Amino acid sequence: MERLLTTTELATYLQRPLGTLYAWRYRGEGPPALKVGRELRYREADVMAWLDGLAEDSKRDAAPCR
Protein backbone atom coordinates (compact mmCIF):
# COMPACT_ATOMS: atom_id res chain seq x y z
CA MET A 1 0.00 0.00 0.00
CA GLU A 2 1.31 3.44 -0.97
CA ARG A 3 1.95 6.01 1.74
CA LEU A 4 -0.02 9.26 1.61
CA LEU A 5 1.66 12.55 2.48
CA THR A 6 -0.05 15.20 4.58
CA THR A 7 -0.04 18.81 3.43
CA THR A 8 2.53 19.62 6.12
CA GLU A 9 4.82 16.80 5.00
CA LEU A 10 4.56 17.85 1.37
CA ALA A 11 5.16 21.53 2.18
CA THR A 12 8.28 20.53 4.12
CA TYR A 13 9.48 18.26 1.31
CA LEU A 14 8.95 20.96 -1.34
CA GLN A 15 10.30 23.68 0.98
CA ARG A 16 7.22 25.80 0.36
CA PRO A 17 4.82 27.44 2.81
CA LEU A 18 1.70 25.46 3.62
CA GLY A 19 -0.42 28.27 2.19
CA THR A 20 1.24 27.75 -1.20
CA LEU A 21 -0.15 24.21 -1.39
CA TYR A 22 -3.65 25.46 -0.62
CA ALA A 23 -3.27 28.26 -3.19
CA TRP A 24 -2.10 25.77 -5.83
CA ARG A 25 -5.10 23.55 -5.14
CA TYR A 26 -7.48 26.53 -5.35
CA ARG A 27 -5.98 27.53 -8.72
CA GLY A 28 -5.87 23.95 -10.03
CA GLU A 29 -2.06 23.86 -9.98
CA GLY A 30 0.36 21.67 -8.06
CA PRO A 31 0.24 17.94 -7.50
CA PRO A 32 -3.16 16.23 -7.39
CA ALA A 33 -4.59 15.86 -3.90
CA LEU A 34 -7.07 13.41 -2.44
CA LYS A 35 -9.69 14.44 0.07
CA VAL A 36 -9.68 11.93 2.93
CA GLY A 37 -12.44 12.99 5.27
CA ARG A 38 -11.73 16.66 5.89
CA GLU A 39 -8.00 16.39 5.17
CA LEU A 40 -5.96 16.55 1.97
CA ARG A 41 -3.49 13.79 1.21
CA TYR A 42 -0.98 13.35 -1.62
CA ARG A 43 0.17 10.11 -3.20
CA GLU A 44 3.96 9.97 -3.43
CA ALA A 45 3.71 8.72 -7.03
CA ASP A 46 1.48 11.67 -8.00
CA VAL A 47 3.92 14.13 -6.43
CA MET A 48 6.87 12.55 -8.25
CA ALA A 49 4.98 12.58 -11.57
CA TRP A 50 4.11 16.26 -11.04
CA LEU A 51 7.75 17.07 -10.30
CA ASP A 52 8.84 15.13 -13.40
CA GLY A 53 6.41 17.22 -15.43
CA LEU A 54 7.94 20.40 -14.04
CA ALA A 55 11.38 19.13 -15.01
CA GLU A 56 10.17 18.43 -18.57
CA ASP A 57 8.63 21.91 -18.79
CA SER A 58 11.93 23.42 -17.62
CA LYS A 59 13.89 21.51 -20.24
CA ARG A 60 11.48 22.61 -22.96
CA ASP A 61 11.60 26.25 -21.80
CA ALA A 62 15.41 26.19 -21.67
CA ALA A 63 15.77 24.77 -25.20
CA PRO A 64 17.32 27.30 -27.58
CA CYS A 65 14.89 28.93 -30.00
CA ARG A 66 15.67 28.54 -33.66
- Tell me the DSSP string of 1-66: ---EEEHHHHHHHHT--HHHHHHHHHHT-SS--EEETTEEEEEHHHHHHHHHHHHHHHHHHHSPP-
- Domain residues for 28? 4-62
The domain spanning residue 44 has which CATH number? 1.10.10
pLDDT (tens digit per residue) in 3-51: 899 999 999 999 999 999 999 999 999 999 999 999 999 999 999 999 9
Burial class for 34, CB neighbours closer than 10 Å (0-12, 13-18, 19+): exposed
Please state the domain count of the chain: 1
Compute the average pLDDT of residues 55-66.
67
pLDDT category at 1 given cuts 50, 70, 90 is confident
